[in-house]
Amino acid sequence: MNAREIYDPDNRWRLRHPAEKAVFAGGMLLLSVAAPSGVVLGVVLATVTATTLLLAAVSWRKFAGGMAAPFGFLLVGAIPVLVASGVNPDTQEAEWRLDVAAAGHLVLRGLTATACLVSFATTTSLPEFLGLLRAIRCPEVLTEWMLLTYRFSQSLLLTVASAHLAQQLRLGLGSPRARVRAAGLLGANLLPRSFEKAKRLERGLECRGYDGQLRTLSPRRRVSWPVLGLVVAVQILLAAWAVAAGRGNL
Amino acid sequence: MHIMEGYLPVTHAVGWGIASGTILTYCVWSVGRSLRSRPQDKFLLAASSAYMFTLSALKLPSLTGSCSHPTGVGLGAVLFGWRPMVVSGFIVLLFQALLLAHGGLTTLGANLFAMGIAGAWVARGVYSLARTARLPFRVATFLAAALGDLATYVVTAAQLAWAFPDPAGGFVASFTKFLGVFAITQVPLAVAEGLLTVLVMNALMAY
Amino acid sequence: MSEPILEARNVEYAYPGGIVGLAGVTLAVDAGEKLALLGANGCGKTTLLLSLCGVLKPRSGEVRLSGRLVEYTRAGLRNLRQRVGTLLQDADDQLFAGSIYEDVSFGPLNLGCTEAETRQRVEQALAAMELTDLGDRPPYRLSGGQKKRTALAGVAAMKPAVILLDEPTANLDPHASTDLLALLDQMHGQGTTIVFSTHDVDLAYAWADRIAVLDGGRVSACGSPEEIFGDGQAVRGSGLRTPWVLDVVNALQPSALWPSELRPPRTPAALVKQLAAMRIENVR
Amino acid sequence: MSEPILEARNVEYAYPGGIVGLAGVTLAVDAGEKLALLGANGCGKTTLLLSLCGVLKPRSGEVRLSGRLVEYTRAGLRNLRQRVGTLLQDADDQLFAGSIYEDVSFGPLNLGCTEAETRQRVEQALAAMELTDLGDRPPYRLSGGQKKRTALAGVAAMKPAVILLDEPTANLDPHASTDLLALLDQMHGQGTTIVFSTHDVDLAYAWADRIAVLDGGRVSACGSPEEIFGDGQAVRGSGLRTPWVLDVVNALQPSALWPSELRPPRTPAALVKQLAAMRIENVR
């Protein structure tokens, strides 16, 4: 757990089965990518945002934090679409114009899809997600690799935070040049440190009977079928609406 | 550099998903087999994936002052070969999406292709070429990391141009536009990543 | 005399690079005792613990479990780890899973327990360590004391006959360390043998049944706390001081205020209590 | 009365999420003193230290350096950190360079020292911390005590007027912690002001000139060690015990063996020495 991770440990869905959260966010994500109409996108965006903030009680700070960074990238990425060159039908000459509709739609779609992702990320911890992957029989190589990656990245992020603080205290972040030097030192020495931690963990787990496999049992949680049914029903309705709206556009 | 969630049309998302998924499946199988004979590598590989993710979660200073992140794929490709880097790239991209809402799930296939697959191939290829050309180790590492990074950026621009061709100029015009928009951050970043990779290699030699 | 439960005979170990870790250690651990391995940093305490649990393979000499030679095969090590649990100094080196519950389940699953059996053991261990409410938490979000208890729960769930602990109270604040010792005492009361390494003479003196002093990769002295610190000899050689409770008693003793037949207390708290109880005024 | 070198006036701080870190702390550090911030975990010690060195910006209240208000601008913070060095609790994470030498050189280079000046300062600091022979080592290959000394060398090389230390002896074995305190005493002897946080009442009692007890983000008491522990009041409120040495003295005192006009010693060693010197036999 670190400052940048957007998972909200106090969300009201933390004890829900991850499958419910995955179906909710995943279904909405598919809808937002596939829906051709801006109105449907708007409805999906509103539904996901409201559900996450009101029902799951995710702190709006976490939610907004999750939305903020991608938003900037979304805008920058839309510039090439916004600035379209076209052929003037009267003069038959190429000219520049602003394709606000296309760019706007792209930004809205990106925003809606990002809201779905943020909804899942704020309500579901990575270990829960890994439990889900194990349940659907994802290859062990991959789940174990992810588990260890998560484990190591948690401790590396703590290390980075302390080292960063120590550098700050020793005037390391004063000038741009000092900043680059400080980041270079930290970045370069983090990998050997990470390897060191890896070796120590392997030995520590050996003491606990590690023989090449990282078996664990997740805490018991039950899927609530009524909730799952409701989620799927809403999504089917939205999909039907999207199909109807899409036909109107064609 | 990633394509954000929701940016790609369905057909593109599915297409890149299948392409990258196939290569990823092969790599998981292949790395899994070699891990069976060298189980201790599991921890080291995960430690380097964690390093890649950590770097990407950091705000490193770049010349333009924007928030940016090196990929670490070049470094890993030199250390471990390209196959583990495809898996590693997948994990890092997935973590970025699920932990930081950076990148995305529907764009995961496209992003993996650009970063994990193209990036690792180019990095590994450049490294091998540079070593055959008897370039010094540090130069080879620098080139591998920097060009691997550039490859990621070029492929991403191409993916976006393909998805959003210019109404008049088509793919080529759009490709140029996307290359242009991202060049400001990505070119200096590639150089920075090359330099950082050399520093890391120095630190590793001491280790 | 009954068979020692765990035993090192002439164990030698050298780290890659030739640094000697153990220079011939012979030590028997009796079932049910609390044995302290006492020594300064670098004396070989950790190396000895890692040799006793099979992580390090001695260059020469043997490790015996209930009299039988430990074999460094998969089955042999599995058998050893079923009976001997180890808690390293840094709890972070032993915690890896995404939640405390998952982490504690690791050991029992490695022993080949069924799912039902594993869940039962996990819940039992979490309850014993007062962690039940934290089961869903990721281990990284815990305090130092909670991490240590989680790691101990992971060991306890394997139901070992012997627990080896490397510097159990290092890095813990006094409150957390009192808690941990109480939990260990509880396990000890249920029959678990405890071997712990420490550089803290006060802790060894207060808490061990028997102390083995390590110095330069060798056991330089071994005996009851009274024997070890009694003549001041064993301790002086190895750079360790006397527990200060004893120092105070020794300073009082020439005055006959502290009758020499009175056994010195083990902890500062007991000393203060005894001083108060003696109503020294009467002596005057 | 002379100006305090560092001062907090009504400093309040709340962490994001609204958790109160400091609820109005007023505290003056006098030049040349050794001040202990004593309190249980979570009482605000670390938050106060981080506020005093400008890492945390108070929500309200002010921090003053030699009487002048600290400004949270680049220049203001630079000026503050040039005069006030800080040693964080976890030495491991404070060392980020590839070798000890490189790490220690970080601060002086940031101060804008020339290469020659930097080298001189690094070598001086390494010599003072008895690390000269280890200059080439990567930090993760060091013992806990060596790491701590390296981090201290990194601070010392910047020649600050005040050093803030967060739990300086936590995680250190008694030997390493004695070493560290001796090195700090040496710096103190050369005029450095020392402020340290600790939850160890024995350490605060033995080593501080003055103690500020922190409780719930407030300074609940402040005074000399004798004043703080004398009446037992200040301590009882904040969940801290009395130092053992005082407990023993208090237990002896009703017997008049320990004349009440005799100042109680600060350390166990001093107590033992005094008991021996008193030749209690004569009293009898």
Task: Give DSSP secondary structure letters for C68-115.
Answer: EEPP-SHHHHHHHHHHEEEE-SSGGGT--SSSHHHHHHHHHHHTT--H
Section A57-85 average pLDDT: 82
Could you list the residue range(s) of the whole structural domain that residue A150 is in? 139-207
Position C47 confidence tier, pLDDT thresholds 50, 70, 90: very high
* pLDDT for position C54: 92
* pLDDT for position D236: 63
Angstroms from B159 CA to nearest CA on chain A: 12
Tokens representing A35 are: 């829906």
Nearest one of D160, D71, D147 to D110, comparing CA atoms: D160
Position C204 confidence tier, pLDDT thresholds 50, 70, 90: very high
Q: Is A81 exposed, middle or buried (0-12, 13-18, 19+ CB in 10 A)?
A: buried
CB-based contact B200 A188, cutoff 8 Å: yes
* φ and ψ of C282, to 5 deg: -60, -40
Query: Smallest Cβ distance to B39: which of A129, A191, A212?
Result: A212
Section C119-134 average pLDDT: 93
* pLDDT for position B158: 93
d(CA C266, CA C253): 16
**Cβ contacts from B onto D, under 8 A:** 6
Q: In this structure, is the dihedral angle defined by the CA atoms of residues A177, A182, A183 and A188, taken in order, positive or negative? A: positive
CB-based contact A171 D82, cutoff 8 Å: yes
pLDDT per residue as tens digits for the range C3-25: 899 999 999 999 887 788 899 99
Q: How large a percentage of chain C has pLDDT more than 70?
A: 93
CB-based contact C283 D283, cutoff 8 Å: no
pLDDT per residue as tens digits for the range C205-225: 999 999 999 988 999 989 999
Position A248 confidence tier, pLDDT thresholds 50, 70, 90: very low
Q: Are B87 and B27 in contact (CB under 8 A)?
A: yes
Nearest one of C142, C99, B197, B85 to A145, comparing CA atoms: B85
Tell me: do A119 and A22 sit in the same domain. yes
Task: Average the pLDDT over each of A146-155, D151-160, D270-279 and give the range with the smallest value.
Answer: D270-279
d(CA D214, CA D43): 6
* pLDDT for position D238: 65
Residue D27 has pLDDT above 70, yes or no: yes
Tell me: do A105 and A199 sit in the same domain. no
Nearest one of C162, C161, C130, C160 to C145, comparing CA atoms: C130
Q: Are D46 and D87 in contact (CB under 8 A)?
A: no
Tell me which residues of chain D have a C-beta less than 8 Å from any C-beta of chain B: 98-99, 138
Angstroms from B203 CA to nearest CA on chain D: 6
CB-based contact C81 A14, cutoff 8 Å: no
CB-based contact C272 D175, cutoff 8 Å: no
In a domain, A145, yes or no: yes
Section D106-125 average pLDDT: 93
Position B25 confidence tier, pLDDT thresholds 50, 70, 90: very high
Q: Are B104 and B112 in contact (CB under 8 A)?
A: no
Residue C183 has pLDDT above 90, yes or no: yes
Strands (E), C103-236: 162-166, 193-198, 210-215, 218-223
In a domain, A131, yes or no: no
Residue D28 has pLDDT above 60, yes or no: yes
Stronger pLDDT, B32 or C253, i.e. the higher one: B32
Residue B63 has pLDDT above 50, yes or no: no
CB-based contact A194 B48, cutoff 8 Å: yes
Mean pLDDT of chain D: 87
Tokens representing D24 are: 């109005």
* pLDDT for position C273: 82
Tell me: do A80 and A106 sit in the same domain. yes
Mean pLDDT of chain B: 87
Tokens representing A88 are: 């003037």
Angstroms from A80 CA to nearest CA on chain D: 38
CB-based contact D99 B202, cutoff 8 Å: no
* pLDDT for position A222: 86
Tell me: do A32 and A117 sit in the same domain. yes
Task: Average the pLDDT over each of A81-85, A111-115, D209-213, D246-250 and give the range with the smallest value.
Answer: A81-85
Tell me: do A60 and A174 sit in the same domain. no
Section D88-103 average pLDDT: 86
- Chain C hits for A201, CB-CB cut-off 8 Å, are 93-94, 96
Mean pLDDT of chain A: 86
How many domains does chain A fold into? 2
* pLDDT for position D283: 47
- Chain B hits for D103, CB-CB cut-off 8 Å, are none
Length of chain B: 207
Angstroms from D151 CA to nearest CA on chain B: 20
Task: Average the pLDDT over each of B159-168, D110-119, D153-162 and give the range with the smallest value.
Answer: B159-168
**Cβ contacts from C onto D, under 8 A:** 92
CA C112 from centroid of its chain's CA atoms: 26
DSSP-derived secondary structure letter, D255: G
Residue B67 has pLDDT above 70, yes or no: no
- Chain B hits for A77, CB-CB cut-off 8 Å, are 3-4, 7, 160, 181
* Nearest residue of chain D to residue B205 (CA atoms): D98
Residue A86 has pLDDT above 90, yes or no: no
d(CA C237, CA C174): 29
- Residues with Cβ within 8 Å of B177's Cβ and at least 6 positions away in sequence, in order, are A79, A80, A83, B161, B166
* pLDDT for position C277: 76
Query: Smallest Cβ distance to C94: which of A205, A218, A220?
Result: A205
d(CA D169, CA D153): 16
Stronger pLDDT, C76 or D252, i.e. the higher one: C76
Task: Average the pLDDT over each of A166-180, C95-109, C212-226, D57-71 and give the range with the smallest value.
Answer: A166-180
Residue A2 has pLDDT above 90, yes or no: no
Residue B1 has pLDDT above 70, yes or no: no
* pLDDT for position D257: 67
Residue B61 has pLDDT above 70, yes or no: no
Position A88 confidence tier, pLDDT thresholds 50, 70, 90: low
Section B21-39 average pLDDT: 93
Check CB contact of C41 with chain D, cutoff 8 Å.
yes
Angle between helices B10-37 and B137-163 (to 10 degrees): 150
- Chain B hits for D138, CB-CB cut-off 8 Å, are 206-207
* Nearest residue of chain C to residue D275 (CA atoms): C251
* pLDDT for position A122: 93
* pLDDT for position D142: 83
* pLDDT for position A249: 45
Q: In chain B, positions 185-204, which contact chain D (CB-CB < 8 Å)? A: 202-203
Residue of A11, A197, A207 to mutate, testing the C interface (most C Cβ within 10 Å of its Cβ):
A207
Check CB contact of C117 with chain A, cutoff 8 Å.
no
Section D106-130 average pLDDT: 92
Task: Average the pLDDT over each of A143-157, A236-250, B162-176 and give the range with the smallest value.
Answer: A236-250
| Pairing of the two strands D162-166 and D193-198 | parallel
Amino acid at C197: S
Q: Are B119 and B179 in contact (CB under 8 A)?
A: no
Residue A218 has pLDDT above 60, yes or no: yes
Residue C30 has pLDDT above 60, yes or no: yes
Query: Smallest Cβ distance to D78: which of A162, A171, A193?
Result: A171
Position B200 confidence tier, pLDDT thresholds 50, 70, 90: confident
Position B70 confidence tier, pLDDT thresholds 50, 70, 90: low
d(CA A37, CA A248): 9
- Chain D hits for C256, CB-CB cut-off 8 Å, are 281, 284
* pLDDT for position C108: 94
d(CA A162, CA D87): 11
- Chain C hits for A160, CB-CB cut-off 8 Å, are none
CB-based contact C97 A216, cutoff 8 Å: yes
Section C230-243 average pLDDT: 69
Position B68 confidence tier, pLDDT thresholds 50, 70, 90: very low
Query: Smallest Cβ distance to D280: which of C170, C252, C271?
Result: C252
Q: How large a percentage of chain D has pLDDT more than 70?
A: 93
Q: How large a percentage of chain A has pLDDT more than 70?
A: 94
Position B69 confidence tier, pLDDT thresholds 50, 70, 90: low
- Chain C hits for A208, CB-CB cut-off 8 Å, are 81, 85-86, 94, 106-107, 110, 154-155, 158
* pLDDT for position C12: 95
- Residues with Cβ within 8 Å of B45's Cβ and at least 6 positions away in sequence, in order, are A145, B31, B35, B80, B84, B87, B88
H helix runs in chain D, sequence order? 45-52, 74-83, 91-94, 100-110, 115-128, 144-156, 174-189, 201-207, 225-230, 233-237, 244-252, 268-277, 280-283
Nearest one of B113, B154, B89 to B18, comparing CA atoms: B113
CB-based contact C41 D271, cutoff 8 Å: no
CB-based contact D94 A159, cutoff 8 Å: no
Return the residue matching tokens 């006036």.
Answer: D9
- Residues with Cβ within 8 Å of A122's Cβ and at least 6 positions away in sequence, in order, are A6, A7, A8, A11, A52, A56, A58, A62, A63, A66
Tell me: do A234 and A193 sit in the same domain. no
Tell me: do A26 and A104 sit in the same domain. yes
Query: Smallest Cβ distance to D254: which of C199, C241, C281?
Result: C281
CB-based contact D138 B202, cutoff 8 Å: no
* pLDDT for position D7: 95
Angstroms from A21 CA to nearest CA on chain C: 17
Mean pLDDT of chain C: 88
Angstroms from C136 CA to nearest CA on chain A: 7
* pLDDT for position A250: 38
CB atoms within 10 A of CB C60: 12
CB-based contact C252 D272, cutoff 8 Å: no
pLDDT per residue as tens digits for the range B121-132: 999 999 999 999
Q: Is A39 exposed, middle or buried (0-12, 13-18, 19+ CB in 10 A)?
A: exposed
What is the location of CATH 3.40.50.300 in chain C? 6-241
Residue D279 has pLDDT above 90, yes or no: no
Check CB contact of D145 with chain C, cutoff 8 Å.
yes
**Cβ contacts from A onto B, under 8 A:** 222
Residue C162 has pLDDT above 50, yes or no: yes
Ramachandran category for residue B31: left, alpha or beta (phi over 0 → left; psi -120 to 50 → alpha): alpha
* pLDDT for position A36: 75
In CATH, what class is D6-241? alpha beta
CB-based contact A125 C119, cutoff 8 Å: no
Q: In chain C, positions 186-245, which contact chain D (CB-CB < 8 Å)? A: 199-201, 239, 241, 244
* pLDDT for position C68: 93
CA C261 from centroid of its chain's CA atoms: 30
Residue D254 has pLDDT above 70, yes or no: no
Tell me: do A47 and A94 sit in the same domain. yes
Angle at A9 between CA A14 and CA A225, to 5 degrees: 10
Check CB contact of D154 with chain A, cutoff 8 Å.
yes
* pLDDT for position C141: 77
Tell me: do A116 and A228 sit in the same domain. yes
pTM attached to this predicted model: 0.89
- Chain D hits for A194, CB-CB cut-off 8 Å, are none
Check CB contact of C82 with chain A, cutoff 8 Å.
yes
**ipTM field:** 0.87
Nearest one of C189, C195, C185, C159 to C7, comparing CA atoms: C195
Section A136-157 average pLDDT: 93
- Chain B hits for A85, CB-CB cut-off 8 Å, are 166-169, 173
Strands (E), B39-146: none
DSSP-derived secondary structure letter, D134: G
Check CB contact of D138 with chain A, cutoff 8 Å.
yes
Position C254 confidence tier, pLDDT thresholds 50, 70, 90: low
Query: Smallest Cβ distance to C55: which of A9, A203, A219?
Result: A203
